[in-house]
Amino acid sequence: MARYLGPKVKLSRKVGVPIADLPKHTAKRQLTTPGMHGYRGRRLRDYGVRLNEKQKLRYHYNVLERQFRRHMAEATRRTGNTGELLLQILERRLDNAVRRAGFTRSIWASRQLVAHGHVLVNGRKVDRPSFQVDVGDKITVKPKIQPVIRDAMESMVGHIVPGWIEVSPAELTATVLSLPTSDQIPFDVNTNLIVEFYR
């Protein structure tokens, strides 16, 4: 399956918001539109506004379009607010849970950590980044990768762990306490526009 391997800051500039909580993404000059002087194009129409909102969420969770559509279809099938259910499904992905726990600095690093088989869920190796964690699941890492994780955690001094995960830095474990809610997600996005985009 194809995966975007190009410059990540370009994605932040494209959608106009930092898609990762890294200094090079959050720097003020990086959020100008691409080009030497910043392209001052036409105002987006309704379709463009909805597309941009959807792309923000896709880039933030590092998900391809086909996978995003699958998550959207799953959220539509369930009963409740489709936008909030979509955010909950994306937030419960294993690669995202590893990122939120503070084991890695970015979604790309956490995806690699999971795909390389370094992450255990309830004592069993899980190498699928899209694996959905559930309430009560315990996420740990293999002993050989623990020094790398500790270095990453030390470099993220101000990292805030959301309320739906409990992290034990000494043991390098994270426990899922509850299902994530929209107010616990540290990324501002209008889910109504995304739902409208797919209708």
Which residue(s) pair with 147 in the sheet?
none
Angle at which helices 65-77 and 46-61 pack, to 10 degrees? 100
Report the pLDDT value the prediction gives residue 21, as an integer from 0 to 100. 77
What is the DSSP secondary-structure string of the chain?
-----S-SHHHHHHHTS-SSSSHHHH-GGGGSPSTTTT---PPP-HHHHHHHHHHHHHHHHT--HHHHHHHHHHHHHSSS-HHHHHHHHHHTBHHHHHHHTTSSSSHHHHHHHHHTT-EEETTEE---TTPBP-TT-EEEE-GGGHHHHHHHHHH-TT----TTEEEETTTTEEEE-S---GGG-SS---HHHHHHHT-
Band the pLDDT of 144: cuts 50, 70, 90.
Answer: very high
Candidate from 53-57, 59-63, 87-91, 156-160 with smallest mean pLDDT: 156-160
Give percent of the chain with pLDDT exceeding 70: 90
Q: How many other CB atoms are found less than 10 A from the CB of residue 158?
A: 5
Band the pLDDT of 160: cuts 50, 70, 90.
Answer: confident
Query: 24-54 pLDDT, tens per residue?
Result: 777 766 566 666 666 666 678 889 889 999 9
Report the pLDDT value the prediction gives residue 158, as an integer from 0 to 100. 77
Give the HSE-up count for residue 111: Cα atoms under 13 Å, Cβ half-sphere: 10
Query: 93-128 pLDDT, tens per residue?
Result: 999 999 999 899 889 999 999 999 999 999 999 999
Considering the chain, what is the average pLDDT of its residues?
A: 87
> For residues 45 and 101, what is the distance between their CA atoms, to the nearest angstrom?
38
Report the pLDDT value the prediction gives residue 87, as an integer from 0 to 100. 92
Domains and CATH numbers, the chain: 9-90+187-197 (1.10.1050.10), 94-178 (3.10.290.10)
Mean pLDDT of the 147-160 span: 85
Query: 183-199 pLDDT, tens per residue?
Result: 888 888 888 999 889 88
> For residues 114 and 131, what is the distance between their CA atoms, to the nearest angstrom?
10
